Amino acid sequence: MFAFGVDRQDFTATTIVEAAAPEAGDGEAVLRVDRVGVTANNVTYAVLGDAMRYWQFFPPAAFGLEPRWGLVPLWGFAEIVASRVPHVPVGGRVYGYLPPAGHLVVRPGRIDGTGFRDESPHRAGLASPYNAYRLTTGDPVWRAEQEDLLVLYRPLFFTSFMLADQVLDQGAYGAGQVVLSSASSKTAYAAAFELRGHGPRVVGLTSPGNVAFTESLGCYDEVLPYAGIRDLQAVPTAYLDLSGSAPTREALRERLGDRLVRDIAVGLTTQSPNAMAAGEVFFAPTQMRKRSADWGRDGLDARFAVAWERFAAAVASWVDVRLGHGPAGLREAWLEVAAGRTPPRVGHVIQL
């Protein structure tokens, strides 16, 4: 197997190490990582690796790496290649949170027809949704022909789905418009897709070169370049910050004053921690827990499946999948995405 490490202090410094494939011990299963995506969302995991404990999901020592290296969590599909756990079948295909490595050893628990959770001791105190592995045979969202879309968009769309749900659940905080920065990013336009037509106007802020692409999506009522903030309607506004840009936040505050009724940090596409400057931080698992209590987990899954089908039908024409192969392809995609060089239409999928 291999493992791909990123320097926790310098994301441009990377390493690839080789090691023997692991074996399954009692109560364990081995997943062979098959197909993963690399997006700005993964860069956010690295930026918040210490603050939100993302580095702890895949301890470097378990993959033959020194502590300076972090394994950035990725989303994708894996095959169960060994199992010493009843009802976790060899040959099963699962979707979930995976390391940038050839294999992952898990300790399955809470096993049912939909999949299992990794109950390895080091993951016990980490955010529960990231520990779930869904069998494709028990997943209402899975379609074989949509795997690349699921790799690229499912985790982002779940965040976007929960973000839009929270905004609407709170009556849009009394705002007449919702403004999203990094509007050309996948998480932003997926949230806009869910929000548009449900009350407030939805406005996207993006760089001048991405205005035409972002307008072409049809997710926003209006798209402005960042310099166009001065033309923003001066009405009660909720700001969903997916850029982490201090100048953007200051320009909005200058334009809107006390009409900026909510300032919520969502993402960090500029790799500049913005939580302290924002009024609050959105964390998808928190809203997920609320809706699981409101609707039950089956009810949440059903609503998500309906929303995903609507979104998948639209997004297939918005993205050009760029397929990479092996550790070298993973490194190449990571360096491009971390540097912010990926065009908004491009989605990196890596076949390992």
pLDDT class for 271, splitting at 50, 70, 90? Answer: low
Of residues 120 and 48, the one with the higher pLDDT is: 120
pLDDT class for 287, splitting at 50, 70, 90? Answer: very high
Q: Assess whether 95 and 167 both reside in one domain.
A: no
Residue ending a domain, choose from 283, 303, 327? 283
The predicted-structure confidence for 126-177, as pLDDT tens digits, reads as follows 988 899 999 999 898 999 999 999 999 998 899 999 999 999 999 999 999 9
Give me the chain's average pLDDT, please: 94
Which domain CATH number covers 57?
3.90.180.10
Q: Assess whether 214 and 267 both reside in one domain.
A: yes
Give the burial string for 56-94 (b: 16+ CB within 10 Å, else e).
ebbbbebbbbeeebbbbbbbbbbbbbbbebeebeeebbb
Q: What is the mean pLDDT of residues 323-327?
A: 97
Q: What is the mean pLDDT of residues 212-225?
A: 97
Residue pair 218/183 in contact by the 8 Å Cβ criterion:
no
pLDDT reported for residue 333: 98
Q: Residue 146: inside a domain, yes or no?
A: no
pLDDT reported for residue 19: 84
Residue ending a domain, choose from 230, 265, 283? 283
pLDDT at position 330 over 90? yes
pLDDT reported for residue 257: 97
Q: Assess whether 31 and 78 both reside in one domain.
A: yes
pLDDT at position 97 over 60? yes
pLDDT class for 238, splitting at 50, 70, 90? Answer: very high
Q: What is the mean pLDDT of residues 92-108?
A: 98
Residue pair 75/96 in contact by the 8 Å Cβ criterion:
yes
pLDDT class for 52, splitting at 50, 70, 90? Answer: confident
Q: Assess whether 83 and 126 both reside in one domain.
A: yes
Of residues 275 and 326, the one with the higher pLDDT is: 326
Q: Assess whether 183 and 237 both reside in one domain.
A: yes
pLDDT at position 71 over 80? yes
Q: Assess whether 249 and 199 both reside in one domain.
A: yes
Number of structural domains (the chain) is 2
C-alpha count within 13 angstroms, C-beta hemisphere, residue 88: 28
The predicted-structure confidence for 257-266, as pLDDT tens digits, reads as follows 999 999 999 8
pLDDT reported for residue 274: 58
Q: Assess whether 6 and 134 both reside in one domain.
A: yes
Which range of residues forms the domain containing residue 176?
Answer: 156-283
pLDDT reported for residue 280: 86
pLDDT reported for residue 267: 65
Q: What is the mean pLDDT of residues 79-99?
A: 97
Which domain CATH number covers 160?
3.40.50.720
Percent of the chain with pLDDT over 90: 84
Q: Assess whether 23 and 127 both reside in one domain.
A: yes
pLDDT reported for residue 276: 62
Q: Residue 308: inside a domain, yes or no?
A: no
The predicted-structure confidence for 165-198, as pLDDT tens digits, reads as follows 999 999 999 999 999 999 998 899 999 999 999 9
Q: Assess whether 210 and 100 both reside in one domain.
A: no
pTM, full prediction: 0.85
Question: Measuring CA to CA, which residue among 258, 272, 259, 257 is closest to residue 181?
Answer: 272
Q: Residue 151: inside a domain, yes or no?
A: no
Q: What is the mean pLDDT of residues 16-37?
A: 96
